[in-house]
A = this chain, B = another copy of it.
């Protein structure tokens, strides 16, 4: 049957981390860009649902659609990789330099894809600026400002709040990537990964990749947010918070309690392609 027990999930985390660490910058950028775009699509769908129903929880119930596309199509998501590659590193299946290269190129892809989708979406929504006001435009502006200026107004406490909301976020998002491994069936994966993504988005925690779309989209739509507001008061503390919980609370916690010594190290060397197939 399709259920995968926790011990095997941890082995799969290591293999997935290993395979991801070996990917070329070309693949990392393309897959990271697509992931950025899909999370952008999911965010605007969720905003549409929230605006129409006046209940953001309905938007949150729909938001995981983008994450599901990312995982089922095997794309790269840096916040998931924060949990997977360190597990491979601990198991001596990946090197520190490979891990940092993965994170760098995937982030570059996310930024490019997110900005592309932000431009396309804002242009389509405003008809190239002819429609300056609409509930969606207001929503984009409001969210971009609340995710930056609101923290700025609180100073260090704002930075720390963003950091903690980012910890709370990626404990779940990284587990989303891991929960997808608890099943070998497509719908099993969909259902299992839907859960933590719904949890994080429903409560407004801070996700670095979503923010790479939503803050610049708000800026394009007219939010009074500067480039430094965006990065200093949101993107940087949020990336650090996502990193902290992804590595420690999701990846290493499961590795620590479920990794059985020596069961994997003894297997023959497999190529990155084989791994890609196995880790699907």
Contacts and interface: CB of A to CB of B under 8 A. Distances in A.
14 contacts: A5-B74, A5-B277, A34-B253, A45-B198, A45-B199, A45-B202, A66-B199, A73-B179, A124-B164, A124-B165, A128-B160, A182-B186, A185-B186, A190-B191
A62 B198 CA distance: 9
Q: Closest 5 interchain pairs by CB?
A: A5-B280, A183-B186, A1-B184, A186-B188, A6-B74
B280 A73 contact: no
Contacts of A280: 3-6, 8
Most chain-B CB neighbours within 10 Å: which of A56, A257, A273? A257
A57 to B, nearest CB: 5
Please tell me how many copies of the chain the complex holds.
Answer: 5
Given A6-B73, A8-B280, A187-B192, 19 more contacts: A1-B185, A7-B276, A8-B277, A26-B257, A34-B253, A37-B171, A41-B199, A45-B199, A48-B57, A65-B198, A68-B192, A72-B179, A123-B161, A127-B158, A127-B161, A128-B154, A182-B186, A183-B186, A190-B191
A2 interface: yes
A202 B6 contact: no
A157 interface: yes
A83 B136 CA distance: 30
A263 to B, nearest CB: 9
Contacts of A260: 273
Interface string A1-36: 111111111000000000000000011001100100
A73 B9 contact: yes
Nearest to A171: B37
Nearest to A64: B195
A275 to B, nearest CB: 11
A224 interface: no
Contacts of A132: none
Contact of A57 (B44, B49, B121, B186): B49
A68 B188 CA distance: 12
Given A41-B172, A124-B161, A277-B5, A185 B182 contact: no
A168 interface: yes
Nearest to A34: B253
Nearest to A260: B273
